[in-house]
Structures are given as structure tokens and as C-alpha cells.
Amino acid sequence: MEEKVAILSEMLSNFTFSCESSVEEDGSVTLSLNEMDLVDNAPTFEKAKVEMGNDILEYAKEYYENFQMYYHAPNRKAHFPYVMKALFIYDGIKIGEGIKCECRAAQESSKESFLKSAGKIDIDENAIEELRKKSMI
């Protein structure tokens, strides 16, 4: 049994969850998953990843319960290995921790520049730099 688990783990290791993140005007963080059509928004980057992990797991359960419908839908067939990975991990927090995020820093920077030049907001440059270091924007 252990050998089968190890083989399955190895087979699924190449499938990773990835997303794009952005910081909204209200300071919340939005994550958009690349492998499936899932989007989450939360007050912090860490909370958004946990919510996304939980949503991935819920979607995987639904996919599995309605396998014939989801697997044969052209826009959802490619989700299958990611569904299997989520079901194999079976922990929303761990799934969330494994999500690799790319920030939309260029878009955010131009948005910040526009708002700053328009005098709409006063941006703390040190805070923005700290968020960039943490890959939050």
C-alpha cells in the first residue's frame, strides 16, 4: 500500500497549483487560480491562499462526486490531475500552502502611479516595497 501511495505522490508531483495575485483598492488580496476557474478575495495574502486551498478541495470533491459530467466537459477535463492532487492531499490549508503565486506588480504599479499622480491616495513606498518582497503584489 505504501508503495502505491508513493507512486501516486510521484505521479502528481508535477502538477502544481499556481495563481496570479493582486491587491485591491481596499487593501484586500485577490487570487486567480490558473489551472481552474477559481477566484478568491480575502483581507490578507495568507488568508486568500487558505480560502483558495479550501475552494480547490471543495471543487475536487464535487468533481469526483459528479465525475462523468465534469470529466467529459471539454473545459473541465484538464482539471482531472489537479482534482486528484487535491483529493490526495485532502487538506485545504496544505493545498493553499502549496499554491505558487505570481503577482501583478506591473499592473499594480501603473495603477498606483495613476492614483498617486491624480492625488487620490498617499502611498507609503516602504509598505509597498515590503509587500513586493513578500510576493503579495
Segment 21-40 shows an average pLDDT of: 95
Q: Determine the Cα–Cα distance for residues 13 and 18; give it in Å rounded to an integer.
A: 13
Q: What is the pLDDT of residue 5?
A: 85
CB count within 10 Å of CB 17 equals 22
Contacts of 42 (CB under 8 A, 6+ apart): 28, 29, 48, 50, 51
Q: Report the CATH number of the 2-133 domain.
A: 3.30.160.620
Residue 52 has pLDDT above 50, yes or no: yes
Q: Determine the Cα–Cα distance for residues 17 and 96; give it in Å rounded to an integer.
A: 9
Write down the domain spans for the chain: 2-133
